[in-house]
Amino acid sequence: MEQLLHDGLTALGLPTEQIPALRAYAAMLAEKNKVMNLTAITDPAEVARLHFLDSAALLTLADFHGKSVIDVGTGAGFPGLPLRIIDPSIRLTLLDAQKKRIGFLREVCDALGLTDVACVHARAEEFAAEYRESFDFAVSRAVAALPVLAELCLPLVKAGGSFLAMKSVDSDEELNAAAKAVQTLGGQAQTPIDYTIPGTEIRHRLLILTKISKTPEKFPRMFAKIKKNPL
């Protein structure tokens, strides 16, 4: 894992000093995954590539330095926690609806001395009632289809900030299907950016929705409504 991370981070032009912290996180993930369902990816090389390097690639696609970032539906911490470990200037909030996963992330942050990372157990649509228009960036991977996800994430982003959705390269239809939602929620889709996870031939896509105006107060709706009638 160490060599893969070293080569991958170097290929991305990112610093390698935090590899010991990433390894400690990976060890805690592997250990906890024996007793609770955190990730289906267990091979250390795959964890390095598909969790850490996929997450780290985001640092080359947007300027996160000194910014507030919320990871919506972070699960075992991806992509948010690797971003914060590699760039300590990021002010990170990790949000998930599953209490056990947030409990795990608190343990990791305590063990790594990341005292400023907020680990929040909440549903995004409820958290947004208190923290709307609060973050420079929302990021999210593998949580919901874009028309639903946009309603969970865009309300949290400040005007001038962006919501970054990590998707597959086959996400054209999803982006088209979300066009009305994005506009209604005060967003504007930018040209998607495709990237390759270093050390692999895997191509992923970052969909960038910039917040150009405030989200109307009535959004986000309750999850049942979002799901039943996506915008």
Binding site for ligand SAM (CB under 6 A): 73-76, 78, 95-98, 101, 123-125, 141-143, 152, 223
Integer Cα distance of 94 and 120 in angstroms: 6
**Which amino acid type is present at position 151?**
E
Between 69 and 124, CB nearer to ligand SAM: 124
Minimum CB separation of residue 204 from ligand SAM in Å reads 11
Helices 124-131 and 146-153, interaxial angle, to 10°?
A: 30
108 neighbors 136 (Cβ within 8 angstroms): no
Residue 4 tokens read as: 């893969």
Diameter of the chain measured on Cα atoms: 49
Integer Cα distance of 190 and 169 in angstroms: 15
Between 166 and 213, CB nearer to ligand SAM: 166
Q: Residue 28's closest CA among 113, 105, 141, 88?
A: 105
Between 74 and 162, CB nearer to ligand SAM: 74
Place of tokens 């999210």: 140
**Which amino acid type is present at position 15?**
P
Minimum CB separation of residue 93 from ligand SAM in Å reads 12
CA distances (Å), origin 110, targets 17, 32, 57, 84, 106? 19, 15, 25, 14, 6
Alpha-helix residue ranges (DSSP H) falling in 1-66: 2-11, 19-32, 44-46, 54-57
Q: How many residues does the chain have?
A: 231
Minimum CB separation of residue 201 from ligand SAM in Å reads 20
Between 97 and 179, CB nearer to ligand SAM: 97
Minimum CB separation of residue 167 from ligand SAM in Å reads 11
Between 74 and 171, CB nearer to ligand SAM: 74
Q: Which residue number has the CB closest to ligand SAM? A: 75
Between 75 and 198, CB nearer to ligand SAM: 75
Minimum CB separation of residue 124 from ligand SAM in Å reads 4
Minimum CB separation of residue 189 from ligand SAM in Å reads 21
